[in-house]
Amino acid sequence: MHEPSDETAQVQSTAGAEQHGEIVVDKEPRLIDPHTLGLELPADPAVAVQLLLHELDAAREEAGSYLADLQRVAADFDNFRKRMLRDQAENIERASQRVVMGLMPILDTLEAALTTEAETPAEKKLLDGVRGTLDLLLDTLAKEGLEIIPTVGTVFNPEVHQAVLAPEPGDARLIVTQEMRRGYALQGRLLRAALVAVDHE
């Protein structure tokens, strides 16, 4: 009967060990000449081992220093990326704010036009066109984050309301009774307070 070769037996043994979850080194470690690493090992094995351990410790310390530097660079880059994204968002927000502020006189003009009463069919048709234009403009700006400050019927809020008509001081809450000029906020930031009249609740 043909006997398996040493190499075949080693392969079979390795396969069996892998099936049992063991870590197997399938070949001999590569021999390294110390001279290629710039090392001159002493003849005494114990001293040579100590020298190699010192070299290993120094190499680990150097590798740790490189890793710390790499982690610091990665953290700096991440902070830079976040700062760039934040600056970009702020630039877009400021640009949107400038556009909306430039359109406010147009919004005020259209709203003032709608306060007039139509006396003829032609005037009614004209006012309907103005109202449609105003609604379209507000809808477009709303998609960019424009919000109209609520006024009539709400509790007076000095942070978003500017009272131009107010009653004598009293204990009752102040309620907005009339809006003289619309107020606006953009992305939750106040652009212009609403001019209102207030009275006690």
How far apart are the C-alpha atoms of 179 and 115, rounded to whole Å?
12
What is the pTM assigned to this prediction? 0.58
What is the chain's length? 201
83-106 core/surface letters (b: 16 or more CB in 10 A; e: else) = eeeeeeeeeeeeebbeebeebeee
Residue 191 included in any domain: yes
- Give tens-digit pLDDT for 62-103: 999 999 999 999 999 999 999 999 999 888 888 888 989 999
Residue 183 included in any domain: yes
Residue 17 included in any domain: no
- Give tens-digit pLDDT for 135-188: 999 999 999 899 999 999 999 999 999 999 888 887 889 999 999 999 999 988
Residue 159 included in any domain: yes
pLDDT mean over 116-136? 93
Mean pLDDT of the chain: 85
Q: What is the count of structural domains for the chain?
A: 1
The pLDDT-based confidence of 3 (bands split at 50, 70, 90) is: low
Contact present, 179 and 194 (Cβ < 8 Å) = yes
Q: What pLDDT does 41 receive?
A: 81
User: Dmax of the chain from CA atoms?
Assistant: 119
- Name the pairing type of β-strands 174-181 and 194-200: antiparallel
Q: Which domain holds residue 191?
A: 146-201
Structure-block tokens of residue 108: 């005020």
- What's at 83, amino acid-wise? R
The pLDDT-based confidence of 27 (bands split at 50, 70, 90) is: low
Residue 155 included in any domain: yes
Q: What pLDDT does 68 receive?
A: 92
pLDDT mean over 8-13? 49
Domain containing 182 — which CATH number? Answer: 2.30.22.10
Residue 158 included in any domain: yes
How far apart are the C-alpha atoms of 74 and 86, rounded to whole Å?
18
Residue 166 included in any domain: yes
Residue 182 included in any domain: yes
Tokens 């991440």 locate to 78
